[in-house]
């Protein structure tokens, strides 16, 4: 089966289920179609979303929609074990045995009512993970056609090297935004370009619309000035800031608002001018760049 390219902006499903919006089946179908109408074809999941329930809710909606599986891409993550009586977990932890990774993927496939994942990500690194076991699981799942590609999430360069020494890592989903600059400054994004690892960014709006502090006020003010210049909302400016980075970052957006989804796709239609990009970085840092 051929790998399909991911959309330049990815729909994150963490808030679709009981953790926040609690969308019903028809609402999920409407939201899926809204994404597709705006050329967002890639949907990002994790087994834990909704306390292990959101994948199944999405899968039910997908099966009742008229959406062809070949027209979309499904990403999921495994490894985080939440406290759960059903799973016998008394403490939050990480599990990356070969048997667990394969079992978790098979659970996600059943829940999503699909035969394959376009991408499997290890959700967070564990100090106890064994690269050989992880590689065996990834290669087995690829061979069986249950995943088309493999990657990690929230991994440092050295952690990526550990796993990458045994099996190919194609993606790393990290926290990155105009208010969370660490990956740009600590070498993580440089490393991914060297290793041909495609970055994804979760929480791409950062804290601009979540926190009211000196940093977010500065960024929002500059974003407002630029929104007038470019004729788009402030959140589109913030997304365009990410998209300008040469690593080719794929932002994972969490909104379920159809109007905002349509607006955010405008970030793919223009590029911030060089000095505008650096002005946003300057306002985030609160000082001139080094």
171 is catalytic: no
How many residues are given for the chain? 290
Tokens of 42: 């890639």
As a whole-number percent, the residues of the chain with pLDDT over 70 amount to: 100
CATH 3.20.20.100 assigned to domain 10-169? The reply is yes
d(CA 249, CA 234): 19
Other beta carbons less than 10 A from residue 91's beta carbon: 7
Give the pLDDT of residue 84.
86
d(CA 287, CA 57): 46
- Identify which of 240, 249, 172, 178 has the alpha carbon closest to the alpha carbon of residue 211: 178
Give the pLDDT of residue 128.
98
Rounded average pLDDT over 14-18 = 97
- SS3 labels along the chain: CCCCCCCCCEEECCCCCCCCCCCCHHHHHHHHHHHHHCCCCEEECCCCHHHHCHHHHHHHHHHHCCCCHHHCEEEEEECEECCECCCCECCCEECCCHHHHHHHHHHHHHHHCCCCECEEEECCCCCCCCHHHHHHHHHHHHHCCCECCEEEECCCHHHHHHHHCCCCCCEEEEECECCECHHHHCCHHHHHHHCCCEEEEECCCCCCCCCCCHHHHHHHHHHHHHHHHHCCCHHHHHHHHHHCCCCCCEEEECCCCHHHHHHHHHHHCCCCCHHHHHHHHHHHHCCCCC
Give the pLDDT of residue 242.
98
Rounded average pLDDT over 162-183 = 98
Give the pLDDT of residue 2.
79
How high does pLDDT run on average in the chain?
A: 97
According to DSSP, the residues that pair with 150 across neighbouring strands are 120
Does 3 have pLDDT greater than 90?
Answer: no
Give the pLDDT of residue 209.
95
Does 85 have pLDDT greater than 90?
Answer: no
Give the pLDDT of residue 257.
97
Give the pLDDT of residue 1.
74
d(CA 169, CA 147): 13
Domain spans, the chain: 10-169
Rounded average pLDDT over 168-190 = 98
Catalytic residue among 49, 96, 116, 171: 49
Other beta carbons less than 10 A from residue 110's beta carbon: 12
- Identify which of 73, 116, 266, 267 has the alpha carbon closest to the alpha carbon of residue 177: 267
Instruction: Give 86's pLDDT tier (boundaries 50, 70, 90).
Output: confident
Chain position carrying tokens 């890592």: 169
Rounded average pLDDT over 156-165 = 98
User: CA distances (Å), 63 to each of 16, 20, 32, 146, 163, in order?
Assistant: 16, 22, 12, 18, 34
First CA to last CA across the chain, in angstroms? 47
Give the pLDDT of residue 180.
98
Give the pLDDT of residue 270.
98
75 Cβ neighbours under 8 A, 6+ residues apart: 6, 10, 42, 43, 44, 45, 117, 118, 119, 120, 121
Instruction: Give 55's pLDDT tier (boundaries 50, 70, 90).
Output: very high
Q: Are 94 and 80 in contact (CB under 8 A)?
A: yes
């Amino acid at each position: 089966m051929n790998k399909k390219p991911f959309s330049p902006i990815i729909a994150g499903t963490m808030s679709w289920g009981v953790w926040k919006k609690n969308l019903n089946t028809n609402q999920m179908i409407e939201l899926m179609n809204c994404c597709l109408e705006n050329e967002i074809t890639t949907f990002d999941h994790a087994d834990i979303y909704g306390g292990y329930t959101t994948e199944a809710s999405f899968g039910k909606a997908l099966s009742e929609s008229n959406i062809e599986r070949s027209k979309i891409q499904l990403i999921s993550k495994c490894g985080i074990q939440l406290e759960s009586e059903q799973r016998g977990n008394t403490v939050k932890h990480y599990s990356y045995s070969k048997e667990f990774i394969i079992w978790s993927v098979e659970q996600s496939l059943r829940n999503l009512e699909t035969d394959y994942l376009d991408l499997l990500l290890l959700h967070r690194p564990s100090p106890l993970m064994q690269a050989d076991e992880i590689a065996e699981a990834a290669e087995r799942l690829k061979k069986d056609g249950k995943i088309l590609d493999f990657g990690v999430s929230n991994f440092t360069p050295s952690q990526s090297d550990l796993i990458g020494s045994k099996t190919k890592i194609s993606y790393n989903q990290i926290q990155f935004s105009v208010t969370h600059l660490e990956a740009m400054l600590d070498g993580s994004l440089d490393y991914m370009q060297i290793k041909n690892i495609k970055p994804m960014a979760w929480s791409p709006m950062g804290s601009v619309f979540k926190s009211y502090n000196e940093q977010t006020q500065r960024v929002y003010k500059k974003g407002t000035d630029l929104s007038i210049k470019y004729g788009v909302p402030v959140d589109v400016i913030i997304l365009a800031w990410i998209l300008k980075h040469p690593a080719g970052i794929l932002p994972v957006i969490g909104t379920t608002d159809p109007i905002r989804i349509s607006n955010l796709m405008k970030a793919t239609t223009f590029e911030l001018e060089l000095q505008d990009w650096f002005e946003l970085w300057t306002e985030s840092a609160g000082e001139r760049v080094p």
